[in-house]
Structure 1
Amino acid sequence: MFLLALGFGLGVIALTQAAVYNTASHEAGVASALLNSAQQIGVALGLAVLAGIAATVTGTSEPGAAADAQPVAGYGSALALAAFFTSWRLGADAVDSAKYWATWYPGGPRRRR
């Protein structure tokens, strides 16, 4: 949980800086409001999708399945989907980062001799 909180905290700072970095001083308030609105909408939609998946999987009754195991299966499916999308996004960010650094250092990383 500590690593999750640390990563989220660092990510929010980087996202905020990227969103308002090149804005004019008179537009900074609008950029900040747009960023906060986008974060709130993204969290609400993400939670709604994951809760819908958990409820759907929990609501399906398999013959012979214990009633206690159904919520575990529902939450497990939702968390597995969230982990998939998180790892997919991290992979895309790693590719984007590699492309970015390749433009700044075309010869590759400098090695000390």
Structure 2
Amino acid sequence: MKRLDFLLNVTQVPADLLAVCHQPKADLYGTYQLYQFLVDSPLLYKVWMVDEYGDYWLEVNLIDDSGEPAFHTIKIDQDSYEQVEFEPYQVLTEPGKSS
């Protein structure tokens, strides 16, 4: 477990995902849509996990277009968010990693 004292404001979609924004059949199109949802949202997000590279992952749970629950995790690229100060909370780390 790791302790963080900030939330993430996702501010932009990474260039590699923007490249597929008009290609609904592309493998990364669903990831693009989720990232764009985060950018468009006025919400701040708690980090769900920090991986072995120090990258942040978010857990995003929502209702999809069919009215069904949709559960996602997504790695947030380092240049695509701002940190917003918040009270400390615990997040997961990769198995076997402690810090």
TM-score > 0.5 by shorter chain: no
Smaller-chain TM-score bracket? under 0.3
Query: Normalising by the residue count of structure 1, what TM-score does the alignment of the two structures yield?
Result: 0.20
Q: Find the structure with the greater CA-based Rg.
A: 1
Q: Which has the higher contact order (CA 8 A, sep 6+)?
A: 2
Q: Which structure has more helix as a fraction of its residues?
A: 1
Query: Normalising by the residue count of structure 2, what TM-score does the alignment of the two structures yield?
Result: 0.22
